[in-house]
A and B are shown apart, each in its own frame.
Chain A
Amino acid sequence: MAQNHSVWTSIRFWRQSAAWVTGFAVVLLILLTFDTMGQITMGTDADLQKGITKRVPAPTVINYHIGYKFSEKRGHEVPVIGKKEPFFGKEWSPKEAAALLHKGKLTEQAKNCMDCHTLLGNGAYYAPDLTKAWIDPKWKSMMAMTGKKTREEAMAEFLQHPERYPTHARRMPNLKITPDEAKALVAFLKHMSSIDTNGFPRGFSKGVKEFEAGGTYAH
């Protein structure tokens, strides 16, 4: 190595640089993780009552109307938490709501939803994305199909017996979801739709008007 005077071919230089860059990137990632964790921890019921916006609201968000509107300030759509509305005919206390969401998340994992659907855009691509499933206009026609009066009841009925309400050749299978599990799943989906996803999915279900007007893809 006596004639090697170029730093560019020095193993030591590259080893030191690799150690520095890796180490520092890890430190940055850890700092960023602390900041992000602070921002995506679930809010509290008090936040909801005071109208404080949280990226991930408290489980009691199921007691409120949830919309999805374009925000001038943010430059994309954001979830809008509106007036109170009953969920399965009642208002849920913070404790009840938390227990329901817990069961919903467990059921989502136990039934392996993620290997057909996407949640927050992650999963498999065999069935629709569930990020904003709660506010999907499709539930209106599903209310008619199932003969249920509210969106949550129609969703719970569909989840328990998806094979009875086919909308396309590709059908959801019966996953032996019990009435309690179905209720919890709907709560999980409603909660997920209230998460601020920085505008994903963009222009959610904007094509529905076109369907209703008999546009190109109406069927």
Chain B
Amino acid sequence: MIEAFTDVNHSFWGMLNQGPLTLTLFLHTVIILPMIWLYFKEKKRLQKGE
């Protein structure tokens, strides 16, 4: 795409790697982001009180 591919084979995961740490930061973000949603869901539940 933007960065020239250097590895032996082209692959989807290799494509996500568009410079230092981009692939791994992307994966970390995808893993962490839904926790924000879980956080607010739980907050609402607690405020309603049980």
Within A1-33, which residues are at the interface with B (CB < 8 Å)? 1-2, 4-7, 10, 12-13, 16-17, 20-21, 24-25, 28, 32
Contact status of A7 and B6, CB under 8 A, knowing A1-B50, A20-B34, A21-B35: no
Q: Is the CB of B43 within 8 A of A39?
A: no
Question: How many interface residues does chain B have, given as a range?
Answer: 20 to 34
Across the interface, name the chain B residue whose C-beta is closest to A78.
B8
A10: B residues at CB distance < 8 A: 42, 46
Residues of A bordering B, CB below 8 Å: 1-2, 4-7, 10, 12-13, 16-17, 20-21, 24-25, 28, 32, 35, 39, 53-55, 73-75, 196
Q: Is the CB of B42 within 8 A of A7?
A: yes
Q: Is the CB of A17 within 8 A of B35?
A: yes
A20 to B39 Cα, complex, angstroms: 12
Interface of B is mostly: helix
Contact status of A28 and B27, CB under 8 A, knowing A4-B46, A39-B8, A53-B8: yes
A53 → chain B closest CB, angstroms:
6
Residues of B bordering A, CB below 8 Å: 6-9, 11-13, 27, 30-31, 34-35, 38-39, 42-43, 45-47, 49-50
B34: A residues at CB distance < 8 A: 20, 24
A9 → chain B closest CB, angstroms:
10
Contact of B46 among A5, A28, A196 (CB under 8 A): A5
The 6 residue pairs across chains A and B that have the minimum distance between CB atoms? A13-B42, A7-B42, A7-B43, A39-B9, A17-B35, A5-B46
B11 → chain A closest CB, angstroms:
5
Q: Is the CB of A35 within 8 A of B31?
A: no
